[in-house]
C-alpha cells in the first residue's frame, strides 16, 4: 500500500456463545478500490470454563459424628471465557 492508503472495515465471526469453534470471516474489511484483498479465514474457539471441586475446610459432621460429604464440597468457577 502506498502512503495514505489503509485498510478499513472489520473482520467478523459467525455468531455463537457456546463452547465450540466459530469461523472468522472477512466481514467488511476492505483495502479500497485500488487493491484486491485476499483474505484467508480461520476459526476461534470458545473453551469450556474449568471448574474446581474442592473439599470444604469445616468438615461438617452428621449426627453419627462422621464427615458428611454432601455438605463439605465447594464448586468454584475459575475462569470465564468471553469475546
> Do residues 78 and 50 touch, judged by C-beta distance below 8 A?
yes
Please give the Cα distance from 11 to 22 (Å, whole number).
13
Residuewise pLDDT in 10s, the chain (83 residues): 888 899 999 999 888 889 999 999 999 999 999 999 999 999 989 888 776 655 555 555 555 555 555 555 555 555 554 43
Model confidence, pTM: 0.53
Torsion of CA 81, 26, 9, 30, to 10 degrees: 160
Amino acid at each position: 500500500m502506498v502512503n495514505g492508503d489503509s485498510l478499513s472495515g472489520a473482520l467478523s465471526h459467525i455468531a455463537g456463545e457456546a463452547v465450540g469453534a466459530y469461523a472468522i470471516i472477512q466481514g467488511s474489511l476492505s483495502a479500497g478500490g485500488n487493491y484486491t484483498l485476499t483474505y484467508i479465514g480461520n476459526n476461534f474457539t470458545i473453551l469450556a470454563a474449568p471448574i474446581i471441586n474442592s473439599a470444604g475446610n469445616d468438615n461438617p459432621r452428621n449426627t453419627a459424628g462422621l464427615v458428611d460429604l454432601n455438605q463439605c464440597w465447594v464448586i468454584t468457577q475459575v475462569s470465564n471465557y468471553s469475546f
